[in-house]
Structure 1
Amino acid sequence: MKKLLLSGTMLLSFLCAFGQKSDDSALLKKLVDKQILTQQEADQIAQEDNKQSQPASFTQKVDKVRDAFNTPYMKFGGYGMLLYKYSDVSNVKHDFEPRVVFLNMGGQLTNTIGYFVMAELVDPLLHELYLDWTPTKAFNIRAGQFKVPFSFENQISLTNLETVVYSRTISSLVSMSDDVMKLQNNKNNGGRDIGIQASGSLFPTGNHDLLQYSMGVFQGSGITTREQNNTKDFAGTLTVQPIKGLRVGAGGYFGQATYSNDGGITTSDHVRNRWGISSDYQTDRLTARAEWFKANDGGIDREGVYGSLMYYLIPKKFNAVGKVDYFNKDKNINSEVMDYTLGLNYYFFPQCRFQLNYTYSDYSNKWGAENSNVVQAQLQIVF
């Protein structure tokens, strides 16, 4: 008897659902016949009903979970990276480690005021903390700790960078792990500093803005580090976009860094100036970028230039990248190196990918290092 009741209930539910769909179709047909709806409008309504009746995809379910935890006032996110590295010149040739784990929070306090906070957990450190005031697209004020407005590549997050690591030119000349700024606070500053900047986009021309600017005054001591002298640094970039996707910019960074360049005997202020030209071109499948910089670090002339090209073999899923990077850390003696990098990126979920890079580094005799072959494999998870 129970089986009979259960079967009858299931049959009745099916007939009701089928009947509801049939009634909806009949109603739409009558509305079209009476010229209350056009046939196109009726078809659109039917398509929407079909979409709503279909089960949600995994991505849609993830988005629903995110929406449940996030509001315009407070949004949470982050990313983690696991890195394997092989180097034929290192004492430890094979190394596997958690590279970074970033957690961030941001949101809008009002229609024109927003905030952002980001910290790293593997080597615990606050990387970003700033407040934005944006009364118009043409004018924004940002105050706090954030990336300095210098170099196109420096503005790119690790999660969107085409290669596993930044170019040696950028790492050495834009406040990263190979910059002299690390000598004063012993930190990889990640292209960031504490300061205040103004930025904006001007002269709209159809589907893009012709001119972008960003300039600011910075402490010059690096992230989460107190001031060490009585001077402030200036950084700025002016960018022209003549056609959508093509940008050409020029920028400069002028200031000082406090460190020892005589083996730690004395510490003093040294000039830390950079200037350069940047360009990039981007479409749905192609990204090309090139930058050239010159620098003066305490009387030592440096120069760097790189070019990179990435192309999606399968849109939004699989791409290949190539990069050539030249850096001269002392032009007086030509202490230089060329890095040649080939890489692949496979996205198994939006913003989550597996990266594989091979880099051959060719050093000059004055550099004092062996030519090297390095393989890097990285798993990136964004949440």
Structure 2
Amino acid sequence: MMYYFDNAATTVQKPACVADAVSKALTSGLYGNPSRAAHGYSLRSYREVEQAKDLVRRLFHAGDDYGVAFTHNSTLALNLVLKGLIRPGAHVLTTMWEHNAVLRPLYQLEKEGVTIDYVRADAGTARLHYEDLEQKLRPETQLVVCNHASNVTGNVLDLTRVKEFCRRHGLLLVLDVSQSAGVIPIDLSDGSVTAVCFTGHKSLYGPGGTGGICIRRDAPAVPVVTGGDGVHPFEHEQPGGVPAIFEAGTANVSGIMGLAAGIAYSLSHEQDLKKRQNALSEQFLAGLRQVPGLTVYGDFTGPRVPVFAINFAGAESATVSDILWNTYEMATRPGFHCAPLVHRALGTTDIGAVRFSFSSFTTAGDIDAALKALHEIAAL
């Protein structure tokens, strides 16, 4: 029997409704290119895309002040938003929790005159020093970008505190919600968040190659990718405001329909999914604390997503992960998880960490099997 514990990378088990939606789009012969014609095929696709956008706004409790643009993933979404919002000469605040989907666009912008400061993270727990926000604020600070939930430790950002800081100083706020969307509530109703960038293939149970941006319509963004919009062919510059400037080219209608089905599933089972994943996390953490020689990284005093990073003393994370797969058929993720600054804080830059992450399809029996395997590895 195989066990899948790499849901922070992608969920491989999807609700049947997701496959049904993608199949409908691809096999019915009814879905054309949205916003490219007035015939039924095009209009049918356009309606599906608009309904999917309504679901995204519902997921994030976003009002009419927010628009939605679909992208291939959160990496593209973050590139479009950060490069579209941040101006040369600006100062940006971010954290040591960030994924390379945030860090590498910022490093590119740094070469263009943008300066960056980082909120520090404690050793071992990666608990953030939120006081750094005030201490590192500058007159030219324009934007704060934060990972809402760490893809390494599972810890969740104190979003209330960050929003208050941004409101107080009139700063733009961008959130990477790749790990939190579909797992914990995200509420944009107060308008404090400028944009959230999300991916579809994790806890929203959508197909790979889906994601997007939910962004305030008054955000001062400029287009990064330009091309056809199907409406204004003679204009030299990308037409339309936010979010239309992020939508050049043909939409992934089948993927968007699958993502919409995944979001609808998440919304309809929201309370059950949250309760189930909390129970699995509590079961796993309690068991981990009984495994000899095991280090569990993170802060366990506040809200979390079901992501756990562990190591055995003196063992390479890749070696442990290989044993879990080759001996127990358990899929985990070793290494550095595209989040180098977190690993620097945790002191794991030499060996990485083994990551377990769960979905609504993970069972209590799966957790028991994982804990049994870890006990056996500890005895080697």
Q: TM-score, normalised by structure 1?
A: 0.24
The TM-score, its normalising length taken from structure 2, stands at 0.24
Structure whose residues are more often helix by fraction:
2
Which has more radius of gyration? 1
More strand by share: 1
